[in-house]
Chain A
Amino acid sequence: MVEKIIIDMLNQDSVSIKKQKYIVVDGQEYAVGEPWRRAYINSEKGREQVQTEVPEPYLSAIMTVWGDTPTVTE
Chain B
Amino acid sequence: MANIKTLYGSDKLREAYPKVNENFNNLNADINVLRTRVNTIITTPIDGEAAAQELVDARDGESSLGERLERDLQVVESHLADLVTDSDGVHGLKIEQGIWTPYFFGNTTPGTPTYTVQNGYYYKINRLVFISGSITISAVGGMTGTLLLGGLPFAVSGNQAIGGISIGYKNTVNNYHFGFMPNTSRLQGYNGIDVVDSSEIPSNLSIQFTGVYLTN
Binding site for B on A (CB under 8 A): 9, 11, 13-14, 16, 18, 34-41, 43, 46, 72, 74
In the bound complex, what is the Cα–Cα distance between A35 and B215 (angstroms)?
18
In the bound complex, what is the Cα–Cα distance between A14 and B186 (angstroms)?
12
Docked-complex contact A9 and B216, CB < 8 angstroms: yes
Interface residue? B149 (CB, 8 A): no
- The residue among B96, B100, B155, B158 with the most chain A CB atoms within 10 A of its own CB is B155
Nearest-neighbor residue (CB-CB) of A37 within chain B: B153
B186 to chain A, nearest CB (A): 8
Instruction: State the interface size on chain B (CB cutoff 8 A).
Output: 20
Contact residues of B: prevailing secondary structure: loop
In the bound complex, what is the Cα–Cα distance between A17 and B107 (angstroms)?
23
Interface residue? B135 (CB, 8 A): no
Docked-complex contact B185 and A37, CB < 8 angstroms: no
In the bound complex, what is the Cα–Cα distance between A33 and B18 (angstroms)?
91
Docked-complex contact A13 and B183, CB < 8 angstroms: yes
Interface 1/0 per residue, B147-184 and A, CB below 8 Å: 00001111100100000000000000000000001011
Interface residue? B101 (CB, 8 A): yes
Q: Which chain A positions have C-beta within 8 A of B155?
A: 9, 13-14, 16, 39, 41
Q: Which of B115-170 contact A (CB under 8 A)?
A: 122, 151-155, 158
Q: Which chain A positions have C-beta within 8 A of B99?
A: 34-37
Contact of A14 among B96, B100, B185 (CB under 8 A): B185
Contact of A35 among B96, B152, B185 (CB under 8 A): B96
